[in-house]
Homo-oligomer: A and B are copies of this chain.
Amino acid sequence: MANVLTLGEILLRLSTPTGTRLSTAKQLDLNYGGAEANTAISLAIFGHETTFITRLPDHALTIGMMRYLKGLGVNTNNIIKGGKKVGSYFLDVGVGQRASEVIYDRAGSAFSELTESMIDLDTAIDGYDLIHLTGITPALSQSLQGFTLKLMKKANEKNIPISFDFNFRQTLWSKEQARSFFTEAMPYLTHVSLSPWDMTHLLGYDDLSLSNRHEDTLNTCYKRLIADYPNIQTVYATKRLSPSASKNDLTGYFYTNGTLFSSETYTIDPIIDRVGGGDAFASGILHGILSQFEPDKTVTFATQASVLKHYIS
């Protein structure tokens, strides 16, 4: 099993019980979320030594978050204490044609204020087999953009591969800001979660030729991507058809060594909780890579992990 480091923001998640709305709810369900924390947890459950780094204030909500992470086997020893606020989001859980809605409350969170002076990057990343990051972290603040790039460069120096989930969040930054960051980051990455849409809008590939067959599109796009960025070893993504908030069709794709592998298409019905489904897929892919599974076993494992995630909250 491998040693994995993830860094990002763990979020307080306050969601409505099914069939109620945020505007009339008298109770909210309290959980924890955040793409990097989700990935840390999944990898720990899959058996890897996983460390999660973030910054959290010194109060009772943090105690709950730490307990949650530790209980699931994630190493929290390097979490930085400081700041005043935990990032949070309110989730109005959708049903059928009524879509879910999210209200984020993250501005000024302890993590968004993280600066290089708070952490000794050299020792922090030493000894890991993989570092997992997402496009959410640089979106949270100017200082986190610099910090993320520095971290990536340090990892490259130490020959630690980086996996990176683009996870573009338009409420956090603009496409232009994102493109500038992502373009600068690409040369440092090894494994990326990325769709043709991301290539067009976030990396500037304006002229991608899309085919009717989704697999053809992916093959063409990813081939070109790797031609441009030969440091990229694998690319992965899911296709999600969402006719309803309660029922989705999900297919997983995994591109490696010039070949695209795809899973079966799974119908998920009824969806209990959609959030985190993408993180579970990414975790499954990374588990396959770290465990040196065959590519088709990897993509099947990852897609099934994502499917199962939708049935628990």
Contact = CB atoms under 8 A, between A and B. Distances in A.
Interface of A: 14, 18-31, 59-61, 63-64, 67-68, 70-73, 84-85, 88, 90, 92, 94-98, 101, 103, 105, 107-108, 244, 246-247, 266, 268-270, 272-273, 304, 307-308, 310-313
A22 B85 contact: no
A28 B26 contact: no
Contact of A19 (B19, B26, B92, B273): B273
A277 to B, nearest CB: 12
B272 A313 contact: no
A60 B95 contact: no
A135 to B, nearest CB: 21
Counted per complex, copies of this chain come to 6
**Chain B CB within 10 A, most for which of A92, A95, A273:** A95
A90 to B, nearest CB: 7
Nearest to A57: B103
B97 A308 contact: yes
A61 B23 CA distance: 6
A96 B269 contact: yes
Contacts of A313: 19-20
B105 A308 contact: no
Nearest to A310: B96
A28 B21 CA distance: 15
Given A60-B23, A71-B71, A97-B266, A18 B107 contact: no
A312 B84 CA distance: 26
Nearest to A22: B60
A308 B64 contact: no
B269 A244 contact: yes
A27 B25 CA distance: 12
A24 B67 contact: yes
A28 B311 CA distance: 18
Contacts of A31: 26
A61 B22 CA distance: 6
B23 A26 contact: no
A270 B70 contact: no
